[in-house]
Amino acid sequence: MRARGSWAGLREDLARFNQALWVLVLSQLITSAGFSIALPFLSLYLYRDRGLAMTVVGAIALANGVVSALGRVAGGELSDRLGRRQTVLQAVGWRVLLFVGLAALVAADGPVWAIVGVYLAVRITGALAMSAITAMVADVASQDQRMEAYGLLRVGGNVGWAAGPAMGGFMASSLPYWTLFAATAALTLVAFGLLLRHAQEPALETEAAPPKQGFREVLSDRRFVAFVAISSLVFVVAGQLVSTVSVFTVDRLGFSEAQFGGLLTLNGLLVVAVQYPLARTLTRFPRRRLLAVGGALYGLGYLVFGLSAAYPVLLGAMVVVTCGEMVFAPNTLAVTASLAPTGRRGRYLGAFGLAETLGWSLGAFVGGILLDVFPTSPLGTWGVVAGLGVVAAVAFSLWDRPPRRC
């Protein structure tokens, strides 16, 4: 018998999944790499090269959160009505054209309003595609496999996010900025070709058409609404990862940008290396309990940020935060897919995506307020953040069990 931890055993585990899942994971890797080549540098370009005030850049980031949230809802609804494959192909196809347009606008020093408008359109198409992809994953994976399947999707995305900024940074240091968008368009075109050739419309167990009441159906599902509300607390905590942590570590603690980058790199590497085997191990535990553990780990990790200014301790805290992320994130998607009626998974996952996107955006806003309210008290800032994680953990432990096993 093969050892469970051996490469042969891992290959045997991975072979259990439908080929359609691997198409989605690979496309997610490619599109994430392409997106992260250029878009992380856009704020710097608008501020440094085009002279926008940081207040305006921040407003653009807020608008991005709003349109992305709305796109997640629309993508879920379209994937139920038009089909998963059609929604994904149209969204990714338009995304290729939009990146070409961004490359042309930046190369020609086009109007800032046009650059921002096309950028927001890019974010909408990405949200449309993401809702359809998460619904496809639920369709092609069995209920017992969904947490693992969503874990694999996250690994693909994180590999792309790890590779993209490195390539983008190298290109930005030696090539004009527009070439980053051209490279992004090329990679997105590769993903489009992959999906066009291999992505198939999943055969659902029942072909129940979405009822006409639309989003009201989701709001009338009290169990799901409670689940989303509690999850939103965790998303506010998760939203501290970039904006609050960056200001805190660099401005308040005096660490370098490279050291802050090291925290994010550790986060990404852990997800790539550990997410799938962890998800595989956790499938045997009740998902309600895992949701509570994920929220508690998030809170504990960020509490450590307020207790010590030593960089090795912060690295350890990031390990705890990332463990919370790896337990919580794929589990929430699996629970959402299980709670949704078969013909309306897209709608439910779109609604969940709305809460996730708004929660992350609200998290950055809340973190900024806390840094202003507690300018000399790290424990004040991170104690409030940790408290939200603990509240969510307690609420999940009390959350009613759904009628189906999840």
Q: Indicate the length of the chain as a whole number.
A: 406
Q: Evaluate if residue 195 carries a pLDDT over 50.
A: yes
207 is a domain residue: no
330 exposure class (CB count in 10 Å sphere: 0-12, 13-18, 19+): buried
The verdict on 106 and 154 lying in the same domain is yes
* Range 325-349 average pLDDT: 90
Give the separation between CA 102 and CA 38, rounded to whole angstroms: 10
CA 34, 40, 46, 52 dihedral sign is positive
pLDDT digits (tens, 9 = 90+) for 382-402: 999 999 999 999 999 998 654
Give residue 60's pLDDT band: very low, low, confident or very high (50, 70, 90).
confident
**How many helices (H) and strands (E) would you count in the chain?**
16, 0
The verdict on 188 and 236 lying in the same domain is no
* % residues pLDDT > 90 (the chain): 40
7 is a domain residue: no
More confident residue, 157 or 293: 293
Backbone angles phi, psi at 239, to 5 degrees: -65, -5
pLDDT digits (tens, 9 = 90+) for 72-93: 889 988 988 888 899 999 999 9
The verdict on 39 and 66 lying in the same domain is yes
More confident residue, 357 or 4: 357
- The pLDDT, as a whole number, for residue 267 is 87
365 is a domain residue: yes
Domain count for the chain: 2
* Range 336-343 average pLDDT: 87
Scanning 256-344, the segments in alpha helix (DSSP H) are: 257-282, 287-305, 311-339
* Range 97-116 average pLDDT: 93
Give the separation between CA 59 and CA 343, rounded to whole angstroms: 37
* Range 245-252 average pLDDT: 84
213 is a domain residue: no
DSSP-derived secondary structure for 237-259: HHTTTTHHHHHIIIIIS---HHH
Give residue 53's pLDDT band: very low, low, confident or very high (50, 70, 90).
confident
- The pLDDT, as a whole number, for residue 245 is 86
The verdict on 318 and 281 lying in the same domain is yes
Backbone angles phi, psi at 151, to 5 degrees: -65, -45
Give residue 250's pLDDT band: very low, low, confident or very high (50, 70, 90).
confident
3 is a domain residue: no
* Range 342-367 average pLDDT: 86
Task: State how far the alpha carbon of 247 is from the alpha carbons of 85, 137, 211, 240, 253, in Å.
Answer: 41, 36, 46, 10, 9
The verdict on 124 and 194 lying in the same domain is yes
The verdict on 193 and 288 lying in the same domain is no
279 is a domain residue: yes
Neighbours of 172 (CB within 10 A): 19
- The pLDDT, as a whole number, for residue 383 is 96
**Looking at this protein, which amino acid is placed at residue 109?**
D
Place of tokens 């960089």: 311
The verdict on 195 and 272 lying in the same domain is no
CATH code: domain of residue 99: 1.20.1250.20
DSSP-derived secondary structure for 86-137: HHHHHHHHHHHHHHHHHHHHHHTT--HHHHHHHHHHHHHHHHHHHHHHHHHH
The verdict on 249 and 172 lying in the same domain is no
Q: Which residue segment(s) compose the domain that 264 sits in?
A: 218-400
Q: Which of 135, 165, 199 is the last residue of a domain?
A: 199
